[in-house]
Structure 1
Amino acid sequence: MITLRDVTLRRGAKVLLDKVSVTLNPGEKVGLVGRNGAGKSTLFALFNGSLHEDSGEFSVPAHWQMAQVAQHMPETEEPATDFVVAGDTRLAAVRERLREAEARLEAAPEDADAGMAVAQAHADLHDAGEHDAVPRAQSLILGLGFRVQELDRPVNSFSGGWRMRLQLARALMSPSDLLLLDEPTNHLDLDALVWLEAWLQRYAGTLVVISHDREFLDAVTGVTLHIDQQKLVRYGGNYSAFESMRAEQLSQQQSAFARQQEKIAHLQKFIDRFKAKATKARQAQSRVKALERMEKIAPVLAEADFSFEFKEPANLPNPMLAISAGEFGYRADASPPTVILRGVNRSVLAGQRIGILGANGQGKSTLVKTIARDLPLLAGTLTEGKGLSIGYFAQQELDVLHAQSNPLEHMIRLARDVGPQAREQELRNFLGTFNFSGDMVNQAVGTMSGGEKARLVLAMMVWQRPNLLLLDEPTNHLDLATREALSVALNEFEGTVMLVSHDRALLRAVCDEFWLVGRGEVRPFDGDLDDYQRYLLDESRRLREEARANASASSLAAPAPAPGPAPGPAPAPAPTSGDGAARRKQDAQQRQQLAARLRPLRKELEAAESRMTQLQSARRDLEARLSTPLAPADIADAGRELKTVSEELQDLEERWLELSSEIEAAETAAS
């Protein structure tokens, strides 16, 4: 177990944890929460051994293996699969031992010890999972959102966010007793996040995770450690349970009672108002539940030191905008335009709360950027309502910020360009409401944290008094308290909200309806986020099977075209015409075609199974032979033969898995 007893931790002269004691048991999944700067990363540094306690006692079992995501950006031409396989530290160590033993044996064939070392290394390789290392690594890579054709691409060919996903896969590949994850969801979209949750739920070791995604914490953790005012308190339960317990504690503290009651009354007012507006069954019920949660944890929200609100819009055009036969995409220099979404016919009405869903790369940001006027509409019409005023939160905050300018300079330019005109002191006071006080108003944006930049973008949006909010992943750098403040502000906002986010708590609390972006189109999604998560898991499974089938077809026939955007639900087969006899004849023909297609695959599968049985028997015989006294030359021969047999068996096992998957996918598609 992990034990802290009267531990004090400092960063420089500042005490972050003062004489704290806590115990984490083997196999527990722990969420580490607290305000930014409270000491979460410092405690992680203690866990991973890069920082030592200033006083007290800290212990982790000496035999435990630890894994964590490397924070540096990988720079290598190594293929993605090989890069992730290398994360298996146990396998890498055994491979190195085998290379050393083989070099010794090659230099001195008569060296009995070298022959035994080669034989032992081969046995250890099997125990370390050499036979399925590549499939395990590729399963992690595909689960985190990569495509099959990207498995062997060089790591350097991916963008920064995708390279950090490879770092995450590499950490998950490593055998570990303790897994440390610091904001693992930052570079993930919703489908990869759902996959990661399922993987971590199956993880057998001890997990400690820092995250500002409350639904992720709820799904993965069963213990919560809260850092506050230099203390570390353990709560039994996930993040929602922690919220409830802490709310009960805070409600019993009378020192801030008057301020809390005022803010609680304010919260209750809009909760009552919006619960009365809940009309759309599935989506609205999710929102009602989110508001009910806010009722229970009102003391926690009242304790937060940051809150804000959007100003009432000057007018509310209805409709806000209308899209007819729209084509969305982008143009690169003189090249023909790249169309991502076609035939879009949608309207946005005053007061709507729209969540925009879809897998990564399907066009969500392209849709939002076009509505925000950052990209031109390629075809069709986009008609804006008279007086439309857009507040746009870009996924990359620096898209709308200047790194060399400070918050005050940003606000002065904004007040000059879009109004209303204001004195400098008024702008300073306004920035103070967003926690930019004192010298912070003169700090260059480029030196600020992601959360501070996000707050500045929110401040600029509020000043503009928009009637349509376009929010593209607004919570990426926000802590939990600021996310709650954003949720409250959006619920009180009188205008229209269009939201792209992987934060399901925010989507549930804010959105009354959803649009699904995928297969080159935008269509309503008739369901709630639980339905969408099931859809994502089904789609991920179906796409993997489809990719395997395409790979098989390309190896048996002409090359298959590269997969396009992730498709939506598979269309139902068209009804056959004619009477029952014609349908039966057509079914029989389809079964014959399937059987003909599968015949060579089944034949190869049977041959592989037969050969695997022979090789497994040969490997057992060799291992038994190596366990008896032999001459050095015989040991060397047996070791080399064992290596050959093990390599052929590994190749056959991988091929057997591929064939089984292809056959299963074909049978599923035909059923």
Structure 2
Amino acid sequence: MIRFQNVSLMRGTKPLLENADLTLNPGDKIGLIGANGAGKSSLFGMLRGELHPDQGLIDFPAKWRMAYVAQETPALDRPALEYAIDGDVNLRRLQAELDELESQDEPDGMRLGELHGALADADAYTVQSRGEQLLLGLGFSLAQMQQPVASFSGGWRMRLNLAQALMCPSDLLLLDEPTNHLDLDAIIWLEDWLKRYAGTLIIISHDRDFLDEIVNVIVHIDDRKLKRYSGNYSGFERQRAAQMVLAASAIEKQQRQRAHLESFINRFKAQATKARQAQSRIKALSRMEELAPLRAAAEFSFEFREPLAAPNPLLVLDGVDAGYVLRDEHGDPVGSKTIVNHIDFSLQIGQRIGLLGVNGAGKSTLIKTVAGELAPLTGTSTLGKGLSIGYFAQHQVEMLRHDESPLWHMVKIAPTTREQELRNFLGSFNFPGDMVTSPIKPFSGGEKARLALALIVWQRPNLLLLDEPTNHLDLETREALTMALAQFEGTLVVVSHDRHLLRATTDQFIIVADGKLQPFDGDLDDYKDWLFKTKLGKGTDVLPAPGKAASTPAPAAAPKAAAAPVTAQVSPADRKEQKRLGAEERQRLAALRKPLETRVKRLEEQMAKLNAKKAEIDAVLLDPAIYEAENKERLKTLVADQAFAVRDLETLEMEWLELQEQLEGLAA
């Protein structure tokens, strides 16, 4: 059990926690959330013993083994696989002791036996295969596992640090934004691993789907307190909304009481006959504690400007091989490397495409080719007249000038626009006052990503190409981006590991797999199943095409001319046979329709009951009496019931629509 008792913590002059209390049970899987700067990473620092509370006590069993992700990765010549296995410190200590003992002329036989037994208990004889499977899940190929740590980029080194933490046997695992440097397939693998983790897990994450899949407790750092909520992130949102309703009703009631007291005082304080009553009400008013509203995070929102008029199709790739030109040390071309072969692809007005594919399959290469950042190796790329592309690259933040200000970046793309208009625009992206003219170097990753988004929004693109746009964004800004993209009126192609964003903003998926681009006939749950059946289940780098074969999207072909009708004489015997076959077909279709129609009828009955129940709840919530203090528990129940009714209705309606489509297909 982990206990925070009356804990207070200052960072510089800023109080992060004040008299905070919290209890966490062994085996809990906890999501730690709160605004940027609220103290989430500092709380981890206290658990690790790197920071100490200014007041209070943090207690958990001394025998617990703790694992966490190191923030620095030395540039070692050590192979990646060996570096990952180094995370099991106890195993490495036993191996080192065994090596030293075996190097002696007359080793202690008793100690040798003890060490071999201890190594067997530490699963030393399976550690190599366990390390390989772990790194495969995190996106490394078998060849990469033998490469030195120093050869990997920063993001890949963070994956290696994560691998070390997962290799370490632990009772308490602390993960701070573990999905930041992972692709969707690696996140899905990590989810599965963490679900099976037997210890106590605390995760800091801005990925709501990731939290929903794993955690059963949310701890919210709010107003310098630690507030525990049972359930996953979606459950927290429902409970938080109910608290907001209750807080608002309590404040409204207090305001009515204050107004009543003030009215009495103002009317009668000058009248001798009422002076005593007026004085008693003045005292009551002074004793009335001012209720602070339950604060919600300041909502940030923005919207994309109306896109410029777009051509149709926006672009066409015809027989394109996408990849890179290889150059020698002088920059001269010496060959090429194809990543995605023979692409026949067009983008039409209004398409909203999510691009899927495992790490290294070629998603970013394809996006860069569509954006014009990479020229096709073969084939032709034809852009429609009037096409305006807004391109957010995976490392867009690093392309900003860190010695310059947000205003400088805006002037660079809009030199003829009045400065005040640019300041107002930046203000809408939460860059107020002096922040507009300050160098962006000390800005957080989220603030820099917000600036990169603002630069794209200003240019009014009719085609958005987004490659991992949520990296560095907190939950609030991710939700703002999701809402803005859902309302964007242009064409969208997005690569993202944020499944909430993908579900809310796209309506079709295309996958890059096995060097080809092809439609994916399914949703994100189907993609997850497919990954486990192929790459994640078997540890292979090859991803066969999902489901049924399908051709790559291409410009719509002109309709073929209808063939002239042909008439022929039909004999009575043939007509009789046709009638018999027709009757059998009708019976077959009726047999197929019956269970569908029965289910539709049942769904309609359930929806009618739920609609009636929701209407009753809505009517009660309109009654001011329900917000009285004595009805607090009932109000919480009603708000929760209303949320569940809305969710269940959406589920039933989706199933009803799918069944209707099946019935229409049978009637066609």
TM-score normalised according to structure 2 size: 0.72
Counterpart in the other structure of 2:523: 528
For the pair 1:422 / 2:421, whether they are aligned, the reply is no
- State the alpha-carbon separation in 1 of the partners of residues 361 and 420 from structure 2: 45
* Cα shift at 1:443: 2.5
Aligned residue among 528, 542, 545 for 1:568:
545
Counterpart in the other structure of 1:356: 355
Counterpart in the other structure of 2:486: 491
Tell me, what secondary structure is at the counterpart of 2:181? coil
Q: Which string of whole-angstrom CA distances, capped at 9 and with x for unpartnered residues, describes residues 202-254 of structure 1?
A: 10000001111111111111111111221211000011111111122223333
- State the alpha-carbon separation in 2 of the partners of residues 489 and 82 from structure 1: 44
Tell me, what secondary structure is at the counterpart of 1:184? coil
- State the alpha-carbon separation in 2 of the partners of residues 253 and 366 from structure 1: 50
- State the alpha-carbon separation in 1 of the partners of residues 536 and 58 from structure 2: 43
Q: Which string of whole-angstrom CA distances, capped at 9 and with x for unpartnered residues, describes residues 400-450 of structure 1?
A: 42222211100011102xxxx321122111111111112212222333221
Counterpart in the other structure of 2:506: 511
Q: Do the aligned partners of 1:65 and 1:176 also contact (CA within 8 Å) in 2?
A: yes
User: Which protein has greater RCO, CA pairs closer than 8 Å, 6+ apart?
Assistant: 1
* Cα shift at 1:257: 11
- State the alpha-carbon separation in 1 of the partners of residues 397 and 23 from structure 2: 42
Q: Do the aligned partners of 2:397 and 2:449 also contact (CA within 8 Å) in 1?
A: no
Aligned residue among 421, 434, 440 for 1:439:
434
Counterpart residue identity of residue 476, structure 1: N
Counterpart residue identity of residue 22, structure 2: V
Q: How does 1:239-258 map to 2 (within 5 A)?
A: 239-254=233-248
Tell me, what secondary structure is at the counterpart of 1:337? strand
- State the alpha-carbon separation in 2 of the partners of residues 570 and 493 from structure 1: 31
Tell me, what secondary structure is at the counterpart of 2:248? coil
The count of residues paired between Structure 1 and Structure 2 equals 504
- State the alpha-carbon separation in 2 of the partners of residues 400 and 100 from structure 1: 50
For the pair 1:193 / 2:187, whether they are aligned, the reply is yes
Counterpart in the other structure of 2:126: 132
Counterpart in the other structure of 1:317: 311
Structure 2 CA distance for partners of 1:569 and 1:466, relative to 1, 3 Å: closer
- State the alpha-carbon separation in 2 of the partners of residues 430 and 308 from structure 1: 10
Counterpart residue identity of residue 442, structure 2: T
Q: How does 1:57-76 map to 2 (within 5 A)?
A: 57-76=57-76
Counterpart in the other structure of 2:135: 141
Tell me, what secondary structure is at the counterpart of 2:247? coil
Tell me, what secondary structure is at the counterpart of 1:166? helix
Counterpart in the other structure of 1:403: 402
- State the alpha-carbon separation in 2 of the partners of residues 437 and 377 from structure 1: 42
- State the alpha-carbon separation in 2 of the partners of residues 514 and 21 from structure 1: 46
- State the alpha-carbon separation in 1 of the partners of residues 401 and 528 from structure 2: 37
Structure 2 CA distance for partners of 1:509 and 1:38, relative to 1, 3 Å: same
Q: Which runs of 4+ in 1 moved over 6 A?
A: 255-258, 299-302
Counterpart in the other structure of 2:167: 173
* Cα shift at 1:24: 0.7
Pick which of 193-202 and 71-80 moved more.
Answer: 71-80
- State the alpha-carbon separation in 1 of the partners of residues 546 and 461 from structure 2: 36
* Cα shift at 1:337: 2.2
Tell me, what secondary structure is at the counterpart of 2:360? coil
Counterpart in the other structure of 2:16: 16
* Cα shift at 1:491: 1.1
For the pair 1:501 / 2:478, whether they are aligned, the reply is no
Tell me, what secondary structure is at the counterpart of 1:444? coil
Q: How does 1:188-587 map to 2 (within 5 A)?
A: 188-254=182-248, 304-333=298-327, 334-398=333-397, 400-416=399-415, 421-541=416-536, 544=539, 566-569=543-546
Tell me, what secondary structure is at the counterpart of 1:331? strand
Structure 2 CA distance for partners of 1:194 and 1:300, relative to 1, 3 Å: farther
Q: Which string of whole-angstrom CA distances, capped at 9 and with x for unpartnered residues, describes residues 35-77 of structure 1?
A: 1111111111111111111101111110001001111023211
Counterpart residue identity of residue 518, structure 2: R
Q: Do the aligned partners of 2:467 and 2:495 also contact (CA within 8 Å) in 1?
A: yes
Counterpart in the other structure of 1:39: 39
Structure 2 CA distance for partners of 1:5 and 1:319, relative to 1, 3 Å: same
- State the alpha-carbon separation in 1 of the partners of residues 25 and 238 from structure 2: 23
- State the alpha-carbon separation in 1 of the partners of residues 249 and 443 from structure 2: 33
Of the two, which has the highest radius of gyration? 2
RMSD between aligned residues: 2.3
- State the alpha-carbon separation in 1 of the partners of residues 484 and 247 from structure 2: 26
* Cα shift at 1:80: 1.8
Q: Do the aligned partners of 1:32 and 1:209 also contact (CA within 8 Å) in 2?
A: yes
Gaps of 5+ in 1: 259-298, 547-562, 573-671
Tell me, what secondary structure is at the counterpart of 1:537? helix
Counterpart residue identity of residue 450, structure 2: R
